Structure 1
């Protein structure tokens, strides 16, 4: 049986992680000189979002799981009897987690060469809810007894079609966090004007690229636009039966969005599965509290307002 390992940026709910025995590589969250490892505890995550300690008035950042920590976690997983390991990481453009995992896997593959241990590392090419779609699809295939090269081939093909959308609540927050990582794609003036005019971008992460597809006045309007767009794609048919939604706060707030319940009904009617969860702390630190993310898999297309 194949064992799936994901980093904590992957927006899978804690309950599903535990039910499917998914192993977790926790990112490190640093806020106001405090250090916390993100094990995707929902109560702790929601509490941190609601306490405002991650807002733009506080200094916070995320750090990827180190090679040393990945090695320790993999050794423990192997010691517990798991010998066929698949590691899926946040896209390698956004984080060194992939390189750290490859380094660890190479080391351990040599160490356990005589014990029939297989360790494969996959770049998800996506982020957050996109990772969750890929992970959920992987788990469904594992449940069907699919593994090895066939599993890797299916998931590699699907990863290029996973669309992960984000609607940040505060574009100025997004600009400041991006700048700390050396990304100057959002100018100070553009962020300031966006904040003053209450402009919310809808940002797409697709196949290792991240870019805005449109800008809408008002977070709720942008969020409902994204949910309506997702509804349209669900009705057209998806490449994977999983639709994942995360929110950098309490997911109960999703029910206040006009388009959420309609989307939920459409997913059920199509016999797809909706997965909702608090956004990872890694996602919240980089995108800001209040951010909405939606992930699904479909053939790439051009966004049309």
Structure 2
């Protein structure tokens, strides 16, 4: 069976990996003042965003996921012929309309695909499965990498779906951001009052950074540290502990909202890479998408892994 994999552009994985494994991207369009960015993980689009320093004014940006009709057209135009089953892995449904749009589109796709496959000389039914990864950014990469592995191992769609849903429910995403004022402005834009002016001002004055966690469809702070570099090091050290304890997949994904070479300068990152290598864990480094930088600000670090349930410890 020919199995395809689709992710949205917020999924932070290396471009070479996405290309090699023929992973389709559902773009998310961002409107920043008079600039429009169709985020399909094109490096040139991301570079234009950074070169124009649009991160400084993108807190008021509007984002627009692929519509129901656009998703339907993408599948009926090509994917229902190229594949017999497609898994569509989306960022957490509580934070974006991508999952809802893909789910709605699936009804039309599964109703209308038959004559298109017949006319193309393709026999047999077409299957589509929409899975909520229950996480964001780098953490979305965990289920995507596993989908690629399961496909290569010849697993059937039922086995793949069961495994991916289990992993999604046990994937942890972590993030540290540089600019609390940006986070407050962006949260207000989206109607989220969780970052108040006073806490943003106090945190900025004292250089306090919240460490944020995404888990099972929810996001929120889990700790506070002094300084961005200390925050990044704290997340790297936590990941090291989980790698040593044993992950559910030999995969750790990390993304950075800037030039990727700056990751190596962050304290603790060299140790994380060394421990991953020692334990046979593949570390995927990826630039954060334009969508991610718009929502959390440039310079943020996110990482994700799948693990048994545990509490965060400093």
TM-score (norm 1): 0.96
TM-superposed CA distance for 1:28, in Å, is 0.4
Q: Does 1:163 align with 2:169?
A: no
TM-superposed CA distance for 1:29, in Å, is 1.2
1:141 counterpart residue number = 150
Q: Does 1:126 align with 2:135?
A: yes
Which whole-Å deviations, capped at 9, do the CAs of 1:264-301 have from their partners, x for residues lacking one? Answer: 11111111111001101111100000000011110121
1:37 counterpart residue number = 38
Aligned pairs for 1:107-122 (under 5 A) are 107-113=108-114, 116-122=125-131
2:19 counterpart residue number = 18
Contact 1:92–1:208 under 8 Å retained in 2: yes
Partner secondary structure for residue 91 of structure 1: coil
TM-superposed CA distance for 1:46, in Å, is 3.8
Partner of residue 206 from structure 1, selected from 194, 208, 215: 215
1:154 counterpart residue number = 163
TM-superposed CA distance for 1:57, in Å, is 7.2
CA distance in 1, matches of 2:239, 2:50: 25
CA distance in 2, matches of 1:55, 1:277: 21
Contact 1:61–1:286 under 8 Å retained in 2: no
CA distance in 2, matches of 1:30, 1:64: 12
2:277 counterpart residue number = 268
Contact 2:59–2:182 under 8 Å retained in 1: no
Contact 1:11–1:278 under 8 Å retained in 2: yes
Unaligned runs of 5+ in 1: none
Greater CA drift, 98-107 or 27-36: 27-36
CA distance in 1, matches of 2:72, 2:293: 26
CA distance in 1, matches of 2:60, 2:96: 19
Contact 1:133–1:295 under 8 Å retained in 2: yes
Aligned pairs for 1:233-272 (under 5 A) are 233-272=242-281
Contact 1:46–1:278 under 8 Å retained in 2: no
1:121 to 1:79, Cα distance in 2 relative to 1, 3 A: closer
Q: Does 1:51 align with 2:60?
A: no
CA distance in 2, matches of 1:188, 1:213: 19
Aligned-residue CA RMSD (Å):
1.5
Which whole-Å deviations, capped at 9, do the CAs of 1:60-83 have from their partners, x for residues lacking one? Answer: 232212112211221233355212
Greater CA drift, 295-304 or 246-255: 295-304
Partner secondary structure for residue 56 of structure 2: coil
CA distance in 1, matches of 2:291, 2:29: 8
TM-score (norm 2): 0.93
CA distance in 1, matches of 2:78, 2:289: 23
Partner secondary structure for residue 151 of structure 1: helix
